[in-house]
Amino acid sequence: MDGTLLDSEGLSSEATDFGVHTITGRHLTKEENRSLTGKPVKKVLEEWFPDISHSIYEAGIEYYRSRINEISSYPGIKELLDNLNLEYRMAIVTSTHREQALEILSQVGLLGYFSFIVGQDDTVMNKPDPEPVLLAMKLLKVSSEDCIFVGDQPYDIIAAHEAGLTAAAATWGSGIREELETYHPDHILESPGDLLELLKKLR
C-alpha cells in the first residue's frame, strides 16, 4: 500500500519523527528513518524505545491523522486498478494497522478495488515473514501459481518468495531499483502500466 499505491511514506516518516521528537526531544537520524520504511512502525518503536514507545506512537499517529488528506495515489495507479478490476481480484498486505489502512484507502478512493486488507494486526508475524501473504491468498481462495505480489520494499520481495509467489518490484514510488535487485525479484516494474504488460505476458 504505502510506497506502491500511495505516496504516503514521506508523511509516515514525518509523523514518526514528530512522535520521537515530541517525547524524547531528539529527531530520528536519516538511517533510522530509512530503516523504518516498509516495517511495522509500532513494533520497531517498541524495540527502540521499550518504555515510551506507546507515547511516541500515539503522538505520531495524531500528527499523521491531522494531515491524512494530503495523501494521494501515485500517477497511473487509479487507471491501473480500473484495468485490473476488470479481470482480477486483488488484496492488500500492509504493515500498517488494518483500521488505519481502511481509513486511508477510503480517503483516496481506492478501497473498493480490494477484496481484502491484511494489516499488521491480522497476523502474529509481519513481512518479511510470509504469514500475511499466505493469509491474503487464503482469503482470496487462490494458489501461489495464480498470484503475483507487487511491492516496493525488500521485505515485500522476501515475503512473496517465501510464500511461493511471483514477486514484482515496484520502482515508481518508494522502491529503489538497485536495492530491490539484490533480493532477486522475478520482475522489475518502472511504472504502473508495466504491470499490465507483465500480466499479458504471463497469461
Domain's final residue, options 70, 97, 118: 70
Residues 60 and 102 in one domain: no
Question: Model's pTM, two decimal places?
Answer: 0.87
Residues 48 and 95 in one domain: no
Please state, for a pLDDT cut of 70, what percent of the chain lies above it: 100
Residues 190 and 116 in one domain: yes
Number of domains in the chain: 2
Q: In angstroms, rounded to a whole number, what is the distance separating the alpha carbons of residues 144 and 147?
A: 5
| CA angle centred on 101, ends 182 and 17, rounded to 5° | 70
Q: What confidence score (pLDDT) does residue 2 get?
A: 93
pLDDT tens column, 138-194: 999 999 999 999 999 999 999 999 999 999 999 999 999 999 999 999 999 999 999
State the residue for C-alpha cell 520504511. 37
- Asked if the structure places residue 2 within a domain, the reply is no
How many other C-beta atoms are found inside a 10 Å radius of the C-beta of residue 28?
Answer: 19
Residues 31 and 109 in one domain: no
Query: With 80 as the cut, is the pLDDT of residue 38 above it?
Result: no
User: What is the pLDDT averaged over residues 63-72?
Assistant: 92
Print the domain residue range for 17.
9-70
- Asked if the structure places residue 22 within a domain, the reply is yes
- Asked if the structure places residue 41 within a domain, the reply is yes
